Structure 1
Amino acid sequence: MLLEEPTRTDQIRLTLQARYDELTAEYEAERDRGHLLRLVEASDTAGDDQADSGTKAAERDAFRSVLGVILDRRAQYEHALSRLAAGSYGHCEGCSAPIPVERLEIFPAATSCVACKQTRERRAA
């Protein structure tokens, strides 16, 4: 029996899914670490001064920020997977032009061509 070689679409799907799964595992590990930190913090507040409280607040903010970044990246890969399923993966959401393969190799979840990305960044600045 001959095994079929994966198509380019299959390869892209596997790459996107693998990264999505990595980000999910990273999110879950960070969430568990945060839960453990909250338990330790809850049991270790006796004698805290303003500096201790400030440090703990900064650590909580940093933790939330990390979780947010992971969730944003995971959402990008989820969106890329849905675009692949819909047949629009690899085309710019702004102008519908093909996104250069080199850009997709560097950032597989890219949704815009270089020109549209630059325009959006200039407007945001």
Structure 2
Amino acid sequence: MEALFSLLVGALFAVSIYLFLSKHIIRMLLGAAILGNAVNLLIFTAGRLTREVPPIIATDETTLTTAAANPLPQALILTAIVISFSFFAFLLVLGYRAFQELDTDDTDEMRVAEPADEDAPPLGY
């Protein structure tokens, strides 16, 4: 099962790198979202896929007596999901703002494009 997840992680990384190399901002944003999911799946797979019991110590014991699941990868993934979502939201707003200002989503055209209207006040003020 871990080999299958490893192949899936490799495919997700390949797709995200391919999308990052695109000229269009929306494809780069999709690449960032897929990269976040690939990293989460990589952490989950690295923590070993087992069907062990939860790591709960009984009231009459001081240590775990049986094999238990590792909760650290799951906690790291929960944190990474929040961070990647906020990063994606920031990139989405940044890309939308650049599109509003330059009237293009092509990065080559953004380098030479002039702002849409120089006399207009900045948006949001």
Question: Is the structural similarity TM-score above 0.5?
Answer: no
TM-score of the superposed pair, with normalisation by structure 1: 0.40
Max radius of gyration: which structure? Answer: 2
Determine which structure has the larger helix proportion and give its number: 1
